[in-house]
Homo-oligomer: A and B are copies of this chain.
Amino acid sequence: MPRGRLPAAGRPRLADVARRADVSLGTVSNVFNHPELVTPDTRRRVQEAIADLGFSRNAAASVLASGDTRMIGLVVVGLSNSLFVDAARGAQRMSRADGRHLRIATAEDDHDLLMEHMVHLAGTSASGLLVAPLEEIDAAIDRVRRLDCPVVLLNFDPQRADCCRVLVDNEEVGRIAVRHMADLGRRDVLFIGGDDALQPVARRRAGVRAAAAALGTAMRLEEVDVDTWTPSTVVPVVRSLLRRDVADRPDAIVAVSDLLAIAAIEELRAGGIRVPEDIAVMGCDHNSAAWGGAVPLTSVSMEGDAMGEEGVRLLIQEIEEDPAEHMHTTVLLEPRLDARESTLGRPV
């Protein structure tokens, strides 16, 4: 997995100054950017630490001259999907470790508002933006770049090449799911998918198909599509399964989202089907809005924390590097199986 480079060894960092002055990174940053917020005593202590460490005037001056305000923005399509709550947590942690201030803006599923947030953050001195959109945002990227504000994309793979991005390998998500079912001895998977216009749906489906094909006759794959945004659309799918002969039913269900998986489990149990004894069920996005049921759900974790951390790491590089030398990078996060009772059964 590609990883952001570490800062060059030996170069004194704000963190060293903070440690020596026994203040937070935010305070050191304020001494540079907002001295009016710092008491004279603390300001003196920080300035002494700067002198002691040879954190050179030039380095300090370059922070000032660069216009790096140490404020970065995270713009998400919404916070109701826990993936973005996790990403915010990771981004906050990494921002703080570098003495930066993270400001989050939520677009509540409004594409125009998402782009407005980007432009306003860039216009009010954000030194860089992390953005998690659902659609292309080319116009907004071009606009904020004219304000010297770089953009890193999270969980969205744009058509343009000139952007850093942090993605989860959604094909691998699908492969992990089918392989897990095969490992448990299941031979007959129903994939409950949705609208392929959504990148994660199309890519998970491709992974499911590839893994099933690789298993040859050891795995039969059936597919049905529902409305990804409306978990209750799973109900008629499950009811039609229940009308089949027992021998004709799948012994495993992989749903493209956890909310669909949990709705399927509920309907199966209402129909007298045991999960996982009769049919094992799993989801694909580890959304906490689907946790905590009587049958804890197996899923594939999307590593939201790491997504936020990697995003901030890439963004800091782009803020600090000479634009002429910056290489745009794609970080592809490995998803991870999170096996629980809905496929493993109850632990004894």
Residues of A within 8 A of B (CB): 24, 26-27, 30, 34, 36-37, 69, 71, 78-80, 82, 85, 88-89, 92-93, 96, 101-106, 108, 112-113, 116-117, 119-121, 123-125, 147, 259, 262-263, 265-266, 269-270, 288-296, 346
* Residue of B whose beta carbon sits closest to that of A291: B289
Contact of A105 among B30, B102, B265 (CB under 8 A): B102
Q: Which residues on B sit within 8 Å (CB–CB) of A120?
A: 26, 30, 34, 37, 101
- Chain B nearest CB, measured from A58 CB (Å): 25
- Chain B nearest CB, measured from A65 CB (Å): 19
Question: Which 10 pairs between the two chains have the least Cβ-Cβ distance?
Answer: A293-B293, A104-B104, A294-B294, A37-B123, A262-B292, A103-B103, A34-B123, A79-B85, A290-B292, A288-B289
Q: Which residues on B sit within 8 Å (CB–CB) of A85?
A: 79-80, 85
A195 to B38 CA separation, bound complex (whole angstroms): 36
A41 to B30 CA separation, bound complex (whole angstroms): 38
Among A27, A69, A124, A263, the one with the most B-chain Cβ atoms within 10 Å of its Cβ is A124
Q: Which residues on B sit within 8 Å (CB–CB) of A34?
A: 120, 123-124
* A interface majority secondary structure: helix
A208 to B259 CA separation, bound complex (whole angstroms): 33
* Residue of B whose beta carbon sits closest to that of A341: B266
- Chain B nearest CB, measured from A41 CB (Å): 15
Asked whether A123 lies within 8 Å of B30 as measured between CB atoms, the reply is yes
A124 to B292 CA separation, bound complex (whole angstroms): 40
Asked whether A89 lies within 8 Å of B105 as measured between CB atoms, the reply is no
Among A88, A103, A119, A265, the one with the most B-chain Cβ atoms within 10 Å of its Cβ is A103
Asked whether B104 lies within 8 Å of A105 as measured between CB atoms, the reply is yes
A262 to B288 CA separation, bound complex (whole angstroms): 13
A106 to B27 CA separation, bound complex (whole angstroms): 17
* Residue of B whose beta carbon sits closest to that of A101: B120
Q: Which residues on B sit within 8 Å (CB–CB) of A79?
A: 79, 85, 88-89
Asked whether A89 lies within 8 Å of B108 as measured between CB atoms, the reply is yes
Q: Which residues on B sit within 8 Å (CB–CB) of A78?
A: 89
A291 to B297 CA separation, bound complex (whole angstroms): 12
Asked whether B123 lies within 8 Å of A36 as measured between CB atoms, the reply is yes
A290 to B292 CA separation, bound complex (whole angstroms): 5
Asked whether A119 lies within 8 Å of B37 as measured between CB atoms, the reply is yes
A294 to B275 CA separation, bound complex (whole angstroms): 11
Q: Which residues on B sit within 8 Å (CB–CB) of A147?
A: 37
- Chain B nearest CB, measured from A154 CB (Å): 16
Contact of A106 among B104, B108, B117, B270 (CB under 8 A): B104
Contact of A125 among B24, B124, B270 (CB under 8 A): B124
**17 pairs, CB–CB < 8 Å, chain A vs chain B:** A26-B120, A34-B123, A37-B147, A69-B124, A71-B124, A89-B108, A93-B108, A96-B113, A101-B105, A101-B124, A102-B106, A259-B292, A262-B293, A265-B294, A266-B292, A289-B291, A293-B294
| A291/B294 contact (C-beta < 8 A), A37-B123, A85-B80, A103-B103 known | no
